[in-house]
Amino acid sequence: MPKIIIDSNIPYIQGVLDQVAEVRYLTHQEINADAVRDVDALIIRTRTKCNASLLLGSKVKFIASATIGFDHIDAEFCMTNGITWTNSPGCNALSVAQYMASVFSFLKYNFFDLSGKTLGVVGVGAVGSKIVNLGNCFGMTVLQNDPPRARKEGPASFVSLAEICEKSDIITFHTPLNLEGEDKTFHLADEKFFDMLKKKPVIVNAARGEVVSTEDLLKAFEDGKILATTIDCWENEPNIDGRLLEKSALTTPHIAGYSAEGKANAASQCVQAVSKFFGLGLDNWQVENLPAPFAVDLTSVNSPEDFFLKTYRIVDESNQLKSAPQAFEYQRSHYPFRREPAAYLSQLKEDFQNKLTLQFPLFFK
């Protein structure tokens, strides 16, 4: 039986592998070099840095991360030391789209009508492509920036970062964090980026905190170059910048992807990956029973914006973080996983159901 350590904060996975492996559930703080020394596999989140400090001298052969991002995994070290790893691509893409639907709805009610505005999406992978779709659903013109895809597919569907800065009313980041190389995204939004802005846009970071330079963003605020910010991903988490917290219109503790469906997808992908690697017979396992959606009165809802803001109460979450930023990690690790829009569809009047599913098909396939 393989020995496996699983992050105890990964939902829907406890008990699944216990019949076919020797499993220990540890918090991310407890997953250290001593703990993993005699372990064959890890199932982790972004809080566990899989590098030489953790893995050198261990028996770890396989790592599965219950996340889309993988900048917490030292791929070069793993390759050199014969460690196979996988992430969970696309697992929470619809969850982030739900998050952004609430952001857009908030912006419509508090800043400007979205129809005819230009949305710049930086990073058009599994998540970013959903946001492109969503922007179109809201009636915005959408610009896409993704240099790796542009090189692979041709430049016709993509624009430069400079054009994003010149034309966008909203700029939202959905890139991985690359610290170096041709597609470096560390501090992609830096002083040079903010100097290129033309339309005083709203900035949204739902990628990784370090994609946006906090100091340069604050200076752009002071210089009147941006209208507002929504921040889900922060530099130096969980010790986030109080100045940026105060200035931002919406603030959340890195939970854009934290829907029940997204977490279930991640758990399923990790179990399947570990099963295939070790031959455990769970190659097709999936989470089956999700929690009921939160109780919400939708009887009077007659606009998409009201629907998105009632089924995901982003303003309440923002106020919670603003009132207790020192509890960032607690709020994140004890987050009550929300259900995605499709879970609420049956509660709507039939005519509004039809309107919503026609306008926003990405949520109701």
pLDDT in tens, 248-288: 999 999 999 999 999 999 999 999 999 999 999 999 999 99
Rounded to 5 degrees, φ, ψ at 44 are -135, 175
Domain span(s) for CATH 3.40.50.720 in the chain: 3-87, 93-251
* Residue 10 scores a pLDDT above 90: yes
* pLDDT (mean) for 10-33: 97
Q: Could you tell me if residue 180 is left (phi over 0), alpha (psi between -120 and 50 degrees) or otherwise beta? A: beta
CATH fold of 3-87: Rossmann fold (3.40.50)
* pLDDT (mean) for 136-157: 98
Report the percentage of the chain scoring pLDDT > 70.
100
Residue 41 binned pLDDT confidence (cut-offs 50, 70, 90): very high
Determine contact, residues 357/346, Cβ cutoff 8 Å: no
pLDDT digits (tens, 9 = 90+) for 45-100: 999 999 999 999 999 999 999 999 898 999 999 999 999 999 999 999 999 999 99
Instruction: Compute the distance between CA of residue 238 and CA of residue 281 in angstroms, rounded to an integer.
Output: 38
Rounded to 5 degrees, φ, ψ at 155 are -85, -5
Confidence at residue 365, expressed as pLDDT on a 0 to 100 scale:
83
* pLDDT (mean) for 160-175: 99
Buried b (16+ CB within 10 A) or exposed e, 275-313: bebbebebeebebeebeebeeeebeebeebbebbbbbbe
CATH number for the region 93-251 comes to 3.40.50.720
CA distances from 58 to 1, 49, 78, 207, 282 (A): 17, 14, 12, 31, 25
Instruction: Compute the distance between CA of residue 168 and CA of residue 114 in angstroms, rounded to an integer.
Output: 12
Q: DSSP assignment, residue 79?
A: H
* Residue 121 scores a pLDDT above 90: yes
Residue 193 binned pLDDT confidence (cut-offs 50, 70, 90): very high
Name the residues annotated as catalytic. 208, 237, 254
Confidence at residue 167, expressed as pLDDT on a 0 to 100 scale:
99
Instruction: Compute the distance between CA of residue 241 and CA of residue 218 in angstroms, rounded to an integer.
Output: 10
* pLDDT (mean) for 325-342: 96
CA angle, residues 204, 208, 213, in degrees to nearest 5: 70
